[in-house]
Structure 1
Amino acid sequence: MLEIVSINLDNELDLPITHKKAAAITKYIGLTLSTQTTFATAVSEACRAVLEKTLSSVLSFRLKREDGRWFLSARITTDGHFTENSEELKYARRLIPVLEVSKNHGATIILLRLGIPRSVKVSGDMASRLAEHMRTSVAESPYEEVKQRNQELFSLAEQKEEQLKMAALLNEKKSEFLSIASHELRSPLTIIKAYAQMGKSFESKDPAKMAMYLDKINQQATKVNTLIQQLLDVSKIENNKLEYQMERVDLNTFIAEVLGDIRIANPSHVIEVKPMVGNGFVSIDKLRLEQALVNLIGNAIKYSAKGKLITVSVNLQLNDQVVISVKDEGIGLSEENLARVFEKFFRAEDISQKVSGLGMGLYITTHIIKGHKGNIWAESKENEGSTFSFSLPLVA
């Protein structure tokens, strides 16, 4: 559906404008003179009925294609009360084939619809040209000119207001992110400092404890490095500078290697793999795809209890695609959170207090998969678990 032009119905001086616009639209389309007159009169009569009840309405003309045929409609949105049997609409109803009245979010919608004969050539390009023609058409009276300027200013004000709202939201998100990021980076650094001080005091007394402290320092340093790498990756994504070094690899072998390392680092969970039947080759950047897999499996570990099963399965599809899925038995996601889970910096409020993170992992993973010409999606049920899947094209 394409909106051609809209008019605010403020007073009876708008009635000649509605008639002229309706006539101009039908003439541009190429309808007969009698159809032009009939449609324009029906529209102005419906607008007259509306203006007698309220001075807060909007008329919009639209073109829509249904089942291979184009339809022209005049849609009046008003706060006045009307039904299809309203006496005020009887004149318009006699002139137009279809006049419907409905309710939408408390407003009344009066729809006048005219089917365009198939012999009249209408296309999407023509509809766009018509909209541009109506937008740039010269006003024919001082009132119409003032009204047109007012509508332009009103539209501009609405756009500016929307931009201000978006800027305020982005600023809020930025402040929230900086707060979380500083906390996430400060926490491991504080731990590193504490273990370093403790290790210094045990340096010559207890080598075993010294080794444990060094191991803890290494773990926290790795966490800091991961957070910094994620920040750098987000910056590269935003600037379209995330690069890939593609090579042909056997997918089953690659996943087995990645899972071997993950199992060693996470002995608290059972990680099972269901490989693809037979061999399948893909063209991937091994480091980047490993990063994506580690993100998905890391989330499965993070959001499920110790001892729970995590299943990584690889399934061949009929369209020369392969789907890799990571399924957990964790806390799951609500429908609302599931719809936003791949957004940059998104973290569910009920989870962010319990589990650390910046909300960048899935955002980065999404772009890595897209960079491999694949798609990513998720399924989840609260308190039952989640399954994150992505597809990759196979290569010969």
Structure 2
Amino acid sequence: MSVPVPKGFSELTNLRSLSGFPVHVDMDASNSWCSLQELEPLSQLRDLTLYGIEKVQDSRMAEKAMISSKRHLQYLKLNYSASGHTIGTCGAEAEQQQQQSVTEEILEKLCPPTCLESFILRGGYVGRRLPDWMCAPESADFKSLRYLMMENLPCCTQLPDGLCCLPSLEGLTIKDAPAIKRIGPQFQASSSVAARGSTASTSAPFPKLRNLQLIGLCEWEEWEWNDCEEHMDVETAIAMPCLERLQIKNCKLSCLPPGLASTKRHTLRELYLYELTNLTHVENIPSVVKLDVFDCPELKKLTALDSRLQKIRIVCCTKLEVLEGVPALDSLVLEDPTMDTLPEYLQAVNPRYLKLDCNKKLYESSSSPGSSEWDKISHIGKRDINCIEDSDTSSDGYSEED
């Protein structure tokens, strides 16, 4: 539980770092606790973390903190308490909408300075939309922002269109946003269209983004992103030209967007696909050297992958039938305690190393020379076969190197 800060805190005008500041709201001026507006004189802050933002009920109080005026601020973290700020039950729709509108106004007034390098929003922001300073063209002013994380957005139905205009953004994490069902082309729209005062710019959307994590968008079904290569004249025309690592977890996407498959994409090295319940195939993803697929129950095909792909890990993808186009495969990890037989695609691949985690029955048959299961993997030089149960990964193991 956060303890209120005594009044007089605002006199520490040379303070550089303030972590865990609990928001205290009391309209009685005679009280002895420090309120949000006492942050206003702290103009030298470099790092600031606030807790309990949901306690603020008036956007004027947030405005008095003057966060946007702190010209040295590099790191800002705003924490909401999920238990302290929840949406009401049915029958109180007007009250819910009012609460959400106030929440949106308050975050708007907590706009950071454009010199900010890292911004984290977490805990349970119940607004339906994210603030205007995350939308085009205002977002283009944040020229130093390198890392952005937003976690637990239960009511947001769409992502702001200005994130692609952030010229220095390297890491973007969006986590637990169950109301988002679709990500449209505006998310990775051309910054030449979105940026303020721009004319004929060739700047790429998300020009420096290296790491993208989209986690817990559990109702997300469609990602509309189709870079049209026939109209591309420069290398940077594709969205996210520097993307190195992409992680998608817990959603309903049935396929990856065509925009990922551009032949001009040379930097994407790691692709992690976890708990994509409707995903049926992965294909034409250039430059990837490491692929992780975990608990994708409808996945049937991994095809037309990059010839440089070296490492694949496949966990609990029971319908996978086709694995093709991996001539440089160095290691293959296959984990599934429910498998009764080895997949046929193992006969068509030749990794240097195979790690197999399976149930006892399959462990015994695939470890026995001359059996039909052993024949599927006998051409693989180094094999590490382990017996596991549903939740046990520490059972017997067998390894062989020809």
Is TM (by shorter chain) over 0.5? Answer: no
Q: Which of the pair has the greater relative contact order for Cα pairs under 8 Å at 6+ separation? A: 1
The TM-score with structure 2 as length reference comes to 0.21
The TM-score with structure 1 as length reference comes to 0.22
Higher helix share: 1
Larger radius of gyration: 1
